[in-house]
């Protein structure tokens, strides 16, 4: 498929909103997980989103230690590999806290502006600004400024209202944090960012946590999303229903995921579970090929066992399975707009 452009991305998200399904947004940080995400989408016949956090950009940039550079290289790789895939793959950047707006988000938007001026297509279809550490009004003031920059460059902005518990790249929800978005919050986001024709992705919080916890750690209340959408639709009509994002979904039951799909969740971040699937397969290889991957007691090991391509391929295959499972849970399987399946 040709890489996703802005119009295709909007069509993808609107199809999900109307169709009661969501796209997995898979966190990637190097070529193995990135290729696994694309391969998983293709195997599932699902369009999808790959997302790059600030930390992933930093990791990918290697000795340059520049998250902007790393994010661009991962996006470029996605674009080229996705062109050969049978499904659409959009590129998003994940959680950018307020303190990194000037060193991550704005330089990425400037890079897009530079490409566009040179007649080149966008590498990024959306960016996330996470202002959930700020009071709501201040969060939205920064978001509105970024929204204007994004709209000039045909980029969708994702914002977060309320606080998701747990930890993501060192950003942790404050104790006694406001874990539930109110209908008033959702109305305020819509009125601030969308009333003049803009569209944003909104990560509303309903008791979800980043990372994975044993059952009972938090109480999910997906009905919060319905209340918020109903408030927006009651005031501005059904067409105003928002694109919602489910953060911190790892470890959530399929029933709870399905409930959120009915309330307008069109993108679900998947990080912890896919990382575990990759590492699980690598660990299995290491433990079952112990005498091959290590040179034990003066032996020489087995080259085929310790070659990095051997165990990285197993990690990729493990992650592909988990990506396919995510597509099934989110009901995006078989629904690609461009599937050859």
**Catalytic positions, written as ranges:** 94
Which residue stretch of 161-169, 219-227, 280-288, 314-322 sits at the interface with Zn ion (rule: CB under 5 A)? 161-169
Our finding on whether 164 is near Zn ion (CB under 5 A) is: yes
Only segment of 22-30, 164-172, 219-227, 274-282 that touches Zn ion (CB under 5 A): 164-172
Q: 128 vs 320, which CB is nearer to Zn ion?
A: 128
Stretch that binds Zn ion, among 24-32, 160-168, 216-224, 314-322 (CB under 5 A): 160-168
Residue 12 or 164 having the CB closest to Zn ion: 164
> Does the footprint of Zn ion cover residue 247 (CB under 5 A)?
yes
Position closest to Zn ion via CB: 247
CB of 338 to Zn ion, least distance (A): 29
Is 95 or 289 the residue whose CB approaches Zn ion more closely? 95
Name which of 45 and 248 has its Cβ closer to Zn ion: 248
Site string for Zn ion, 202-241 (x = CB under 5 A): ----------------------------------------
Of 76-84, 115-123, 242-250, 317-325, the segment contacting Zn ion by CB under 5 A is 242-250
Query: Shortest distance, CB of residue 324 to Zn ion, whole angstroms?
Result: 24
Q: Annotate the chain with three-state secondary structure.
A: CCCCCHHHHHHHHHHHHHHCCCEEEEECCCHHHHHHHHHHHHHHCCCEEEEECHHHHHHHCHHHCCHHHHHHHHHHHHHHHHCCCCCCEEEEEEEEEHHHHHHHHHHHHHHHHHHHHCCCCCCCCEEEEECCCCCHHHHHHHHHHHHHHHHHCCCEEEEEECCCEEEECCEECCCCCCCECCHHHHHHHHHHHCCCCCCEEEEECECCEECCCCCCCCCCCCHHHHHHHHHHHHHHCHHHCCEEEECCCCCCCHHHHHHHHCCCEEEEEECHHHHHHHHHHHHHHHHHCHHHHCCHHHCCCCHHHHCHHHHHHHHHHHHHHHHHHHHHHCCCCCCCCCCCC
Compute the least distance from the CB of residue 97 to Zn ion, in Å. Answer: 10
CB nearer to Zn ion: pick between 79 and 95: 95
Residues found near Zn ion in the complex (CB under 5 A): 164, 247
């Amino acid at each position: 498929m040709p890489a996703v452009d802005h119009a295709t991305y909007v069509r993808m998200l609107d199809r999900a909103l109307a169709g009661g399904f969501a796209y997995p947004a898979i966190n990637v940080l190097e070529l193995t997980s990135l290729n696994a995400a694309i391969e998983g989408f293709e195997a599932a016949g699902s369009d999808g989103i790959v997302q790059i956090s600030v930390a992933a950009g930093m990791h990918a940039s290697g000795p340059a230690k520049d998250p902007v550079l790393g994010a661009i290289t991962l996006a470029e790789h996605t674009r080229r590999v996705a062109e050969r895939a049978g499904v659409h793959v959009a590129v998003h950047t994940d959680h950018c806290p307020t303190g990194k707006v000037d060193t991550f988000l704005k330089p990425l938007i400037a890079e897009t502006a530079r490409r566009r001026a040179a007649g080149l297509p966008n590498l990024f279809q959306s960016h996330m600004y996470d202002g959930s550490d700020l009071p709501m009004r201040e969060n939205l003031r920064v978001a509105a400024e970024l929204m204007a920059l994004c709209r000039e460059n045909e980029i969708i902005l994702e914002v977060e209202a309320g606080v998701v518990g747990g930890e993501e790249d060192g950003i942790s929800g404050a104790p006694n944090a406001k874990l539930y978005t109110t209908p008033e919050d959702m109305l305020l986001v819509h009125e601030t960012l969308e009333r003049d024709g803009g569209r944003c992705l909104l990560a509303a919080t309903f008791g979800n946590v980043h990372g994975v916890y044993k059952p009972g750690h938090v109480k999910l209340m997906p009905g919060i999303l319905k209340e918020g959408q109903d408030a927006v639709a009651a005031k501005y009509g059904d067409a105003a229903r928002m694109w919602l994002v489910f953060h911190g979904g790892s470890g959530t039951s399929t029933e709870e995921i399905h409930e959120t799909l009915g309330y307008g969740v069109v993108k679900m971040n998947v990080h912890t579970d896919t990382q575990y699937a990759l590492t699980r397969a690598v660990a299995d290889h290491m433990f079952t090929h112990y005498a091959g991957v290590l040179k034990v007691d003066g032996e020489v090991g087995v080259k085929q066992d310790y070659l990095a391509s051997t165990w990285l391929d197993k990690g990729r295959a493990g992650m592909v399975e988990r990506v396919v499972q995510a597509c099934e849970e989110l009901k995006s399987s078989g629904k690609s707009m461009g599937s050859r399946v």
